[in-house]
Amino acid sequence: MTSLPNLPIEGIPSGRTSRETRWQSLLGTDRSDRIYRRILTAFALALPALMLILFGVLFVNALPALKKFGPSFVVTSTWDPVAEVYGAAPMIFGTLASSFLALLIAVPLALSVAIFLSEFAPRWLRQPVAFLVELLAAIPSVVYGTWGVFVLIPFLRAHVVPPLKAVLGWTPFFKGVFYGNSLLAGGIILAIMIVPYIAAVSREVLLAVPTSQREAALAMGATRWEAVRSAVLPYGRAGLIGAIILGLGRALGETMAVTMLIGNRHDIALSLFQPAYTMAAAIANEFSEATTDMYLAALFEVGLILFVLTIVVNAIARILIWRVARGAAIGSKAL
């Protein structure tokens, strides 16, 4: 096939120049075009505005609590609406503990699914399993919660807790009576919930790894696993870490299923069998009970901490993912 020479004629889009310059010659030529651009820009402005509004509203409403308690808010364990003393340490602890427990369980499973789907699975199996994983991501949080309450907790009580206790009962993490609604139950339901997110994003990251990477490794005589470990995973590492952090962001902000399973107690207990609390669960449970202004402000401050935390976590995740797949909306459909 022969191609025509790329003549640099003014105003005519040429096939080789970058996208922006090609369009630039056509921009602003027509009044209706300018109006169209302005309308779309107005839409686009809504997004940064939304972010500022979210932050602003949380900040302004949290102001009384911010002023009164200062930094001690995040290290105090007292949560006493009657005495008007609020400290979010147990919730922050519970949020982090349940999320990391979830990651601990979910990461090996999710990465396996991603590697399996992009590297090992026979072609006919890839689409159906990928669809199943997306379906898992589509199950509403409250449905997970219902399943957790009626199926997961009885199952844990009967089949998981006794052996755990027998083997690891001497460690502080598995001490005491199993409460049912506990850090363990909350962490496991979170794990089940974030597996599909991490798997879906990691799979897309791995699919973005050039085939030549694999071919090169296999041509050097690497086994299939060695090709994955030495050529595919390192290439996609930033994106995979991004996917995991994205899952962490999900777990931190997840509300309904955790509220239904974690026990909702303002207490820091090391044992996974004890009830705990998360920031999202505290807002869900207590927001409508918050009768005094300071109570409300304290809950808004919890919301503010949660918002900033997830924004930071998500931003880090996105930067890492973008490093592998530049600017692609990876996982946006699954999330």
Partner 1 sequence: MSRAFGRHLMSRIMTTLIIIFSFTAVLALVLILGNLLIKGASSIDWAFFTKSPVPAGQTGGGVANAIVGTGIVVGLGALIGVPIGVGIGMYLAEYGSGRFGFLVRFIADVLNGTPSIVIGIVAWTFLVKPMGGFSALAGSVALAILMIPMLARTTEEMVRLVPHSLREAALALGYPRWRTSLRIVARTALSGIVTGCLVGIARIAGETAPLLFTALGNLNFSYSITQPMQTLSLQIYVYATGPFDEWHRLAWASALVLMGLVLIISLAARWVTRQRYGSAR
Site string for partner 1, 96-115 (x = CB under 8 A): ------------xxx-xx-x
Between the alpha carbon of residue 127 and those of residues 113, 121, 122, 133, 152, the distances in Å are 13, 10, 10, 10, 29
Rounded to whole angstroms, the Cα distance separating 5 from 279 reads 62
Minimum separation from the CB atom of position 165 to partner 1 (A): 23
Rg (CA), the chain: 25
Q: Which of residues 43-72 bind partner 1 (CB under 8 A)?
A: 43-44, 46-48, 50-51, 53-54, 57-58, 61
Site string for partner 1, 278-297 (x = CB under 8 A): --x--xx--xx---------
If you write DSSP's letter for every residue of 90-110 in order, what string do you get? HHHHHHHHHHHHHHHHHHHHH
Site string for partner 1, 2-31 (x = CB under 8 A): -----------x-----xx--x--xx-xx-
Rounded to whole angstroms, the Cα distance separating 100 from 1 reads 56
Rounded to whole angstroms, the Cα distance separating 333 from 321 reads 15
Minimum separation from the CB atom of position 297 to partner 1 (A): 12
Residue number with CB closer to partner 1 (89 or 335): 335
Query: Strands, E, within the chain: which ranges?
Result: 79-80, 85-86
SS3 196: helix
- Would you report the helix, strand and coil content of the chain in percent, each value rounded to 5? 70, 0, 25
At 250, list the tokens.
């999900």
Residue number with CB closer to partner 1 (272 or 334): 334
**Do 259 and 285 touch, CB atoms closer than 8 A?**
yes
Q: Is residue 260 within the footprint of partner 1 (CB under 8 A)?
A: yes
Site string for partner 1, 188-227 (x = CB under 8 A): ----x--xx--x-----------------------xxxx-
Rounded to whole angstroms, the Cα distance separating 201 from 320 reads 12
Site string for partner 1, 122-161 (x = CB under 8 A): -------x-xxxxxx-xxxxxxxxxx-xxx----------
Query: Which of 89, 207, 270, 335 lies at the binding interface for partner 1 (CB under 8 A)?
Result: 335
Residue number with CB closer to partner 1 (164 or 283): 283
One-letter amino acid of 183: L
Residue number with CB closer to partner 1 (171 or 308): 308
Place of tokens 């002023």: 67
Residue number with CB closer to partner 1 (147 or 173): 147
Minimum separation from the CB atom of position 291 to partner 1 (A): 14
Minimum separation from the CB atom of position 88 to partner 1 (A): 15
Residue number with CB closer to partner 1 (211 or 332): 332
Place of tokens 């409403």: 61
Between the alpha carbon of residue 161 and those of residues 59, 94, 154, 276, the distances in Å are 42, 20, 10, 17
Q: Is residue 75 within the footprint of partner 1 (CB under 8 A)?
A: no
| The one segment of 77-85, 163-171, 204-212, 251-259 that binds partner 1 by CB under 8 A | 251-259
Residue number with CB closer to partner 1 (259 or 271): 259
Number of shown-chain residues binding partner 1 (CB under 8 A): 99
Residue number with CB closer to partner 1 (235 or 307): 307
